[in-house]
Structures are given as structure tokens and as C-alpha cells.
Amino acid sequence: MNTKKYNVLGMSCEGCQKKISTALNNIEGIKAEINLAESSVEISSDSKIDLEKLNSELKNAGNYVLEDPEKPKSTTFIPPQDRVSPSSVYYCPMECEGDKVYFTQGKRCPVCNMYCVPIEEKKLVDSYQLSVDSKHKTINYQLSTNNQGRYYCPMFCEGDKTYPENVGCPVCGMDLVKITGTDDDSEDDTYKNLRKKLWISVVFTVPILILSMGGMFFEFPFSSKISGFLQLLFTLPVVFFTGWFLFKRAWISFKTWNLNMFSLIGLGASAAFVYSIFALFFPSLIPHEFMQNHHEVPLYFEAVAIILTLVIFGQMLEAKAHQRTGSAIKELMNLSPKEAHLIINNSEKNIPIAEVKIGDILRVKPGEKIPVDGEITEGNTTIDESMITGEPIPAEKKLGDKVTSGTINGNQVFLMKTEKIGSDTLLSQIIEMVNSASRSKAPIQKLTDKVSKIFVPVVIAISVLTFVLWYFLGGENRAIFALVNALAVLIVACPCALGLATPMSVMVGIGKGAKNGILIKNAEALEEMQKVNVIITDKTGTLTEGKPSLTQIFAENIAENEALQFAAALNKNSEHPLSQAVLNKAKFFDSAQNDNLKEVKNFENISGRGILGEIEGKKIFLGNIHYLKENNFEISENILQKAQILENEANTISYLTINGKAVAVFGFKDQIKENAKSAIDFLHQKGIEVIMMTGDNEATAKHVAESLGIKNYFANCLPQDKINEVKKLQKQGKIVAMTGDGINDAPALAQANVGIAMGTGTDIAMNSAEITLLKGDISGVAKSKILSEKMMKNVKENLFFAFAYNTLGIPIAAGLLYPIFGVLLSPMFAAAAMSFSSVSVIANSLRLNSIKLKI
């Protein structure tokens, strides 16, 4: 058996995958397994694999090509006349397939059958750019702002395909959702348009309802015939203006046989509307069984108007829900300023944020938002970083500290050097991650998609069967019973609620996470998180602060505060990592306060040993024991014992000596984060095993593990040790989450079922993970667990509402209870019940916004 893996060029969605699979597996002796994520196919054959034959079959299936990854890319010179240009790239003028392009003149669109035209004929072509899709080796045209301003289907019927305007999904018919970006000031008008259509519908529907139902309470001064024509007149704007988009979607669904909720709405409303017109103009042709008590022909204009109005109402609420769940993104986007103050030759110039370049020196004034990511080069300040860390207390910033775009400067002016711009800034990455996550598709949603596709034709069949059974077995007035009950089945069975169940919960859940500093790149990770039973965590930067702190001072024959003053004075001149810990302990944060430190003369930095200087005529040394032993310094037994105790508690030790005698010992430690213990306890209560793996030494690892109640830990770990442990646990059937913040954690983060990166760590770690915790501590893992459980519970509640509603509604609508209880469900009440179901699902999803992510 010959087996070989090939790259697939041109495959971009599940539809492509299905076409390629069908084409290849229909070839005798060929077995093909398609991997959409990798754009690859594994071909197995008993004989030699003929690549040309395979490509010949794929050419007939579509614009797909298999490429041998082992063969080098062609470097053959392509004559100018053979190179691709806009005039030789064709697209459908109706954009039925979004950005898909073709390279054959005379090609017809496979959806609408119109002839494709050259891209250069596209209106506003200057605002488009041609680019090569390196993954699929095709030429795409796209807006110069990528996908922002375009629309996507919230049901992802065609994968990640986007559309230039909101014309409704050609598969499911749902309203498309706008993709926003950092520099997109436009608003999605879907909600406003639907709200306008709703009010217009209400204005015309209320008179219809009065005309049709008012006769039961009072007598009109005109005949029922005139009443019928007035009802028709008021119904026309609802059918052909406000509700026309619903019929267009229904028509597309039947034409492409992608049956969905709009198929049922269009079919039911059309049947009622056409019947009512026929009955109004030709009453004598209506059988006697259809007549009402006063020999009046029953009209259903009110049912049509109310059905369409209620559906528009449901669509408006859905659009409003999308608008709400996108509020986290909008809030983040509004954090970015529009201009920056560029410093050129000591003069200031205001420039648009888009013109800032890496290396530029920018001035940030009090109260302004920081324009880009960078480093302070002059001055000091306090910065409100709550949008990143969630902490309300402003952070102190000084020379050399990093600052982040979107955070707010305090009451000082400072200069900064630009390090990251555009999409590379943390703010832009946050927006993109939230956008990508809200567009990702959880596996549980695929089940509802499949159910919906089967559900619609089954319901149509039930409706036909209802009509037939009522017509032949219904007794008196069986014809009207047959029609009304068939219509009720079509309307009550609308799968709108079923289709909303998962995406609504996912989008609201992701938005909730973003507001709490939990950025989810993939909705599948949020679903998988609730199944996790083992969490592997790094130590430094995850369980601990990731920077040393001066935790203990023991002094002999000198006051602790005086010892600290000597140490701080020496460390003012040092760049050692422990120096800042000493200065922080001494409460000296800026240059003005540092002037109060004792003066140091003859300062010397002794590599690998410590720092030395003269203060007030005394020789002061601060460093490790090796220097003391090498120079025969005097150390009391008491200080040695205290140093040993500190070392046993995983402290790094420094000794302070005065004129050759040790007078104090300092203990430095990477402090455990204050909420780490409560987070670990919470995870243990949830039955989750927590394993700590660190590259630090055994003593430090043991101390941290014991302090946090972690039973299983590994010290001196290399990156391969972490990923091997993840693989080992996965082979045992465990669902593993990995948390980390460094480059050494990246492989394990990618291998784990759920990778969780600390937002305070490296970009590589964040790119390797599915979830990023902006605040950068283990409590975010516990919050992610809570969010995951709440979201999945919410999805199941939504599915229950949808399935229970359809299960109960269809039999009642079909008249199953009529022989026993005399209960029937009219089309109007069926429409109301259907919309109420959709509203219930949306309202239940929005409840996620009120959950408390507390541990």
C-alpha cells in the first residue's frame, strides 16, 4: 500500500473539503483522507499514485490542485504575458461566493449562473487590493482594511467566508454580523434597520388586527368585503416592504435546497397570503366548508402580518444581542487614541496614529491614552492599566518600564520609544483575539447545524401529512382545518430557536470573558475547559510574581532600618535584578526620593559576588557568602543560622557587612501571588489535579508546592519535559490544560487540550495558547473553568428550550389534541409561540452577562 501526503491548493471551507473528498474517493483504487485545517490530503493506493490523474479529476471538481510538498517550488521564469493580472482574474458580480475568484474567461458562477467578470471592472477597485493567499495559493481581492467592515454568518454555514454587505446568509438566511476593526468608525445598521421595519410593520398590522378581530366586539359601518380589501391594503407594505427580505431568504433556501427557518416562514406566510387574496377576489369559488358563521369567507391577512411582524421582532432582538455581545470589542476599540505627539528635533508634531513608526519618540501628556506599545525613555508617571490587569490602583512607571497602548497616563508628562505599532500592539491583539473567538465555532454547534438541516424537510413532510390526514379524516370543514393546521405546523416548527442556541451562548460567554480579562482565541477551548481534569502549571510568573522581592531582613548589632538604608544606598548605583527589590522595600521609587539616600563613594560592582562602596567613612559590602569567605570576613553563628533558615524557605541570600564584619542578612524571594492559594484550592474542590512543573531548583519548587497545597510537582524541567508530561497524561485519557508565560512553555501550551497563557508573558506563549489571561495569574484559570461550566449549562438550557418547544409544538399544531381536548393552534398563535421561543433563547443567553466569576 502506497501512502503519501499532499498539500491541497484552493481548499478553504467544508464545502471544498467535501467536493475534493468525493472526487478523489471516486477514483478506483484511491482512498483519500482530507485535513481541512492543514489544507492537506493523505492518499493511499495499492498501485503507484498518479498525481497528474488526481489533479485532472480535481480540475473537474473545482479550482483545486494537489502539490507534492517534497518537490521544490518552481523558480521558472514566467513571461510577462503569462503573469496573473486583474484582467485575468474573474469574480461573480453578485459575490455569491464572497471573495472567491477564478482564472478562466467565460466561467459561470456555480450559485447564480451569471458570467464572471474581471476584477478590474469592479466598482471602487482602488479601495481593493490584490494579494496572494500563501496558504491556498490563490489570488484574492480584499478591502485594504482586511475584513473589517465586511459581514459574516453567525452560523458559519460557509466557514469563514465574508460578504461585502448584509444581504443575509445564502445558506441559513440569518442576518450577517459586521466585522469591526480598530480603525472602523462605522456602525452596523442591522439593528436600526430592523427596528425601523418593526415599527412600520406594527403601524400596519394593528389596523389589520382591529379589522379582523374587531367585529367580535363592535359593528363596523362597512361591509366585510370592504374590510377584506382594507386588510389587503394594510398587508401589502408588510409583505412587500418590511417583510420582503424574509421571502427573499426563503426563495434562496429553496433554490439552493439549503432549507432553514426562513423556508418555513416563507412557505407558511405565502400560502396564507395567496389563499386570502384568492378568497377575497373569488369568494364564490371557495367551498362551503371554508365559510364562517355568517357565510363569510375567512381571510388570513392578519395571520400573515402578525407572523411577519413577530419574525421581524425576533430578528431585531437577535441583532440587538449581537450588538450587546460585541460591546466588549467596542469598548476596547475606543481605548485607542486617534493621534500621537511625535518628537522631531526637540519639537512636537501631532500625527495620525497610523503614521507612527517603530523607533519614533512620542510625548504622552497627563490624562491622555497611550497611543502604542513602547518603553519610557524620559520621565516617570503613574498609569491606569485596569484595561489590561483589572487592577484599579494605577501602576508606577519609570525610565525603562514598558507601557501599553490604550492605558491612561496619570498626571505627569513622559517620553516613550515606540516598539510595537498597528496590529502588533497588545490592544490590537486583544481586539483581534476577541473577534476571532466570537467567530469561532464550538463542536457542539455542529450537532445543531446537522439537526436543523434534517429538521426542516421533516417538518415540511409533517405539514403535508397533516393536510392530507385532516382533509380526508377531518369531517365537517375538514378543508379549512387541513389548511390551517398545515400552516400552523410550518410556523410553529421554525428552527430559529434551535439555530440560536449555541452561537448566542458562545458569543455572550466570550464577551463576558473579555470583560474579565479572559481572552478566548477559540470557542472550542471554552467548551473543552469544562472537561479538564488535570492542570499543569508553570511556577515563575504564573504562581509567583516572576520578580524578586525583599521579604526578610535579620540584623545584628544594627537596626534593621539602618541596614536597609545602607543596602539601598549601594543599590542605587546597581543594575542587578535584586537592586530594585531593595529600593522598593526602602520605598524609594523615583529620583527625587533617591536624593535622600546616603552618599556612596568608591562604588564598585564585583562580578558574581556583590557591590562595594564607602558610606560615611565605612566600607560597606552587600553580596553573597563567597566574597565573605574569600576575604575572611567575620560572620557570627547567629547570622549563619538565620541565613540557613531563609535558604530552607527558598530565599536567595545576601549579606551586608560593615568594615569586614557581617551585620545583616537579606532574604529575597519570588513571592507567591496573593490569590494563587485560593485558586488552587478552588480547582482541587472541582476535582482537578494540579501539577506544577518548573525549571527552578528542587528546594524552591518544594517550598512553593507545599505553600499552595500542590501534591505533585517537578523541578529542573526542560521544555521537552513539560510537553512529554502532557502527552503522557493525554494517553491516559486525561483532558489536560497547561498554563505558562514563557517561551519554554510554548510547546506544552500547543500540545495541551487547552493552552492558557499569561498576558504578562511572552508573545510566543500567547500565540501558542487558546486562552490568554490578561491579569496573568492562576485565578484566571479558575474563572475560565467557571465561565466554561456556566456557558455549557446555558447552551444545554437553550437546546432544551428549542427541542422541547418543537417537540411539544408540532403535535399541537398538527391537531393531535383536537379529538380529545378540542385544542388547535392557529397560525397567529403559532407565530407568537415561535417568536417567544427565540426571545427566550436570546434572553437566557444574555443571562451569562450577569454571572459572577468569583472563587
Q: Which residue has the cell 426562513?
A: 262
φ, ψ at 163 (rounded to 5°): -130, 150
Considering 538, 670, 745, 777, which one is annotated as catalytic? Answer: 538
Query: Rounded to 5 degrees, what are φ and ψ at 4?
Result: -150, 145
3-state SS of 388-401 is HHCCCCCEEECCCC
Element (H, E) at 765: helix 763-768
d(CA 269, CA 239): 9
- Cell of residue 608, nine digits: 558574581
Asked if residues 722 and 748 have their Cβ atoms less than 8 Å apart, the reply is yes
- In whole angstroms, give the CA distance from residue 229 to residue 30: 66
DSSP per-residue letters across 785-834: HHHHHHHHHHHHHHHHHHHHHHHHHHHHHHTTTHHHH-----HHHHHHHH
Give the SS3 label for residue 647.
Answer: helix
Say how far apart CA 187 and CA 180 lie, in whole Å: 9
Residue 414 CB neighbour total at 10 angstroms: 24
Q: Measured between alpha carbons, how far is 678 from 10 in angstroms, rounded to an integer?
A: 50
Q: Give the residue among 58, 59, 63 at the shortest CA–CA distance from 97.
A: 63
Beta-ladder partners of 162: 152
Residues in the chain: 855
- Three-class SS of residue 273? helix
Q: Single out the residue of 427, 375, 426 nearest to residue 403, CA to CA.
A: 375
Rounded Cα gap, residues 280 and 518, in angstroms: 60
Cβ contact 747:764 at 8 Å:
no
The type of residue at 297 is V
**What's the grid cell of residue 840?**
427566550
Asked whether 816 and 848 are in contact (CB, 8 A), the reply is no
Closest CA to 678 of 670, 686, 669: 686
Whether residue 538 lies in the annotated active site? yes
Q: List, by residue number, the catalytic residues.
A: 538
